[in-house]
Structure 1
Amino acid sequence: MKRPTKRRHHTVPKFYLDRFANGRHQLIRIELPGTKRNTLNVKDATVHTDFYLVEAEDGTWTDKVEDSLSEVEGAAATAIRTLIEDKPWPIPHQVREAIAGWTALQYLRTPAVRQAGSQILDMAVKLAIAAGGREEMRRHLEGIEGRPVTNAELDKMWEAMTAFDEYTLDAHPNAHIQTMSDLLPGTTRLFYSRAWNLVQFERKALITTDTPVVLLSGPGQDPSMPIGLATAGGVLVPLDRRVALIMGEVGVDDELTHGSAVIAQSLNQRLAHEARRYVFHNPEDSPLQGIVLPEPRTQEVETDDPGSFLREEPQE
């Protein structure tokens, strides 16, 4: 049986992190909330073993998704280099398309998106158990077993499955890959069609994070409320330690902006706020002065307590 050969999967690609690294491909990695920091090579950052493996119908696992990711990354690496170093204006279609596609993929591919899917599944199943009650569980068990379930068996299963704090449910990795596949075309079109503002810095430096594509609230939106792809006022992604891309409204012209110290600090604060576990920057830079680093984020979805939906039921 052929085994997957690509085991070290980067959830943020090396080519991208290298644009924030020094000449030796090194980054400073800060672990939130900022008490731990170390220097590491880009090849060792954001590595998750087997993260993009897919289970085939015959039960084997394949690393073919990594090949697809590499194709998108290769096109984006060329496009970002062209945009930053050659400075074509207006932005050529092929450059815009490649960067929009990679940015969409980067938004969808992170562990945060996978975790959100698992937390939604966990909440949905537990709410269904609580709302359905004991007799619904009896019917479900009898459908699986193909026989009547005794009260003692039901009691044991009910006690275990309503101890909601004692277990969590994780979605299958294939579900995340399917979500990426389903949402990528539409997300790419959405990012492509927004007005692009390239914010360029001469001396001030940008950070990046383990979640480098950030949705921004728009005018009149409560910044404390969740932001969706369709409702976001903008999309921020640092392309380089000296260049940020902000995708704004649809139907207006692209812009070039000369970045200031105030803008750099504002963008870095927003990026840091949306990091899940790690912030990265070039060892030669000091971009975190005045930046408040958050606690690591472990919850992606605000959920109701399923235990509050349990009701007292008469037992036979």
Structure 2
Amino acid sequence: MANIADEWPIPGDPNHFVGARHHTVPRFYLEYWADADGHIDVVEKPGGRRYRTVPKTASAETDFYTYIDLDGNPAGHMEQVLGVIEADASAAIGRITHPTFGQFPPPPDDMYAIATFIAFQKVRGRRRRREIETHADFYIKVQYSGLSRDAIKAMLEEQFGQVSPDQIAEMEDLVANLDEYEFVPDPNDHIRMMGELAQAIFPRLMRRHWYLSVFDEPVLITCDEPVIVYKSNPSPLRGYGMLDADEVWFPLNPSMLLILALEPQSVPARFTAPISTAETVNAHSTHSAYQNIFLYPGQPDIDAERLVDTPLFEVTAPADVILPDGANKPLKNRKTARRRKPDRK
């Protein structure tokens, strides 16, 4: 995958996007689920509250991709890069989903654009940011948990040189009350990782076998984490991802599912699928969702049992290791670190 950063400067002022609302799920994509009046339905997870809105405001947050550059200034380059990726993908997906002239398999350039888009979509959302935050919080708490006064003194001296009794006492208090704190990395950490992670995912998508599953009715839903990894017989002891999943699913619209299979399948590249298959896809979409599930307004309510909350990740440890409070439990708070507006002098 080419590095878009090598093509700078992209025409236009990238800082134009500082202070703007950034879509974590692109507006063009959500518009496929809009009715004739331009509305989509959103179901919140957990809880199941359903409401109607428009793609312009759904899954958007001010300055989500704004980062602080090396000069300490807010910069909007990442939002501009995502805009270029989305524009290419929108055109490519449109050539697949066109009701009259839709074509599949897509030509190489369109496959490139769609794979790039899916790779970034897998790593750009609020779930990935919250995972980074939760991992960081977990790691720090495990590292500090149970430290004795001597261990605290040695750690501080290694980091800062000579330390005072007050500094040691302050750190002792922190260690004794770790569960009262949350250690949250700056959003820059997530934004910094996005390109590297997407570049690792991209070739794995391009090497897969591409299929298009078409339904006779608009039955598919989508969510704020629309890239779904599927394995028919997952191990209870380890996870799976883009490398070893049997299939990667991406709903293109309410009646078309893009399937990227690890192995060749005994079906045509484009095939008609039974409605029962959509039920399985929708169940995985509901499970994959971080907070929002998106539906065409005419689609039925989601079964409440599918909205049961689960941990972002689970860890195992020896019996004598005390895990931090909140480990292996559903999130109490789905908010991610926000980029604060800088003070203007």
TM-score (norm. length: structure 1): 0.87
CA distance in 2, matches of 1:306, 1:122: 20
CA distance in 2, matches of 1:291, 1:245: 26
Match of 1:314 in 2: none
Match of 1:247 in 2: 260
CA distance in 1, matches of 2:67, 2:136: 19
Does the CA contact (< 8 Å) of 1:193 and 1:250 recur in 2?
Answer: no
Q: Unmatched 5+ residue regions in structure 1?
A: 311-316
CA distance in 2, matches of 1:47, 1:207: 19
Corresponding residue pairs, total: 305
Describe the SS at the equivalent of 1:42: coil
Match of 1:108 in 2: 123
CA distance in 2, matches of 1:193, 1:165: 44
Describe the SS at the equivalent of 1:43: coil
Q: CA RMSD in A?
A: 2.6
CA distance in 1, matches of 2:48, 2:70: 45
CA distance in 1, matches of 2:286, 2:149: 45
Q: Unmatched 5+ residue regions in structure 2?
A: 1-14, 323-345
CA distance in 2, matches of 1:62, 1:307: 46
The structure-2 alpha-carbon separation of the partners of 1:232 and 1:18, relative to structure 1 and needing over 3 Å to count, comes to: same
CA distance in 1, matches of 2:304, 2:283: 6
Tell me, yes or no, if structure 1 residue 158 matches structure 2 residue 172. Answer: yes
Does the CA contact (< 8 Å) of 1:164 and 1:306 recur in 2?
Answer: no
CA distance in 1, matches of 2:203, 2:97: 22
The structure-2 alpha-carbon separation of the partners of 1:198 and 1:133, relative to structure 1 and needing over 3 Å to count, comes to: farther
Match of 2:339 in 1: none
Match of 2:155 in 1: 140
Shifted more, 27-36 versus 177-186: the winner is 27-36
The structure-2 alpha-carbon separation of the partners of 1:285 and 1:74, relative to structure 1 and needing over 3 Å to count, comes to: same
Match of 1:11 in 2: 24
For 1:20-99, what aligned pairs fall within 5 Å after superposition?
20-85=33-98, 86-99=101-114
Describe the SS at the equivalent of 2:252: strand
| Equivalent position amino acid for 1:247 in 2 | L
How much does 1:133 deviate?
4.1
CA distance in 2, matches of 1:212, 1:301: 18
How much does 1:269 deviate?
1.1
Tell me, yes or no, if structure 1 residue 280 matches structure 2 residue 294. Answer: yes
Tell me, yes or no, if structure 1 residue 118 matches structure 2 residue 133. Answer: yes
Describe the SS at the equivalent of 1:44: coil
For 1:147-296, what aligned pairs fall within 5 Å after superposition?
147-150=162-165, 153-218=167-232, 220-222=233-235, 225-250=238-263, 255-286=269-300, 288=301, 292-296=305-309
Shifted more, 264-273 versus 160-169: the winner is 160-169
The structure-2 alpha-carbon separation of the partners of 1:133 and 1:215, relative to structure 1 and needing over 3 Å to count, comes to: farther
Could you tell me which of 125, 131, 142 is aligned with 1:127?
142
CA distance in 1, matches of 2:55, 2:72: 33
| Equivalent position amino acid for 2:113 in 1 | A
How much does 1:51 deviate?
1.0
| Equivalent position amino acid for 1:38 in 2 | Y
CA distance in 2, matches of 1:251, 1:174: 39
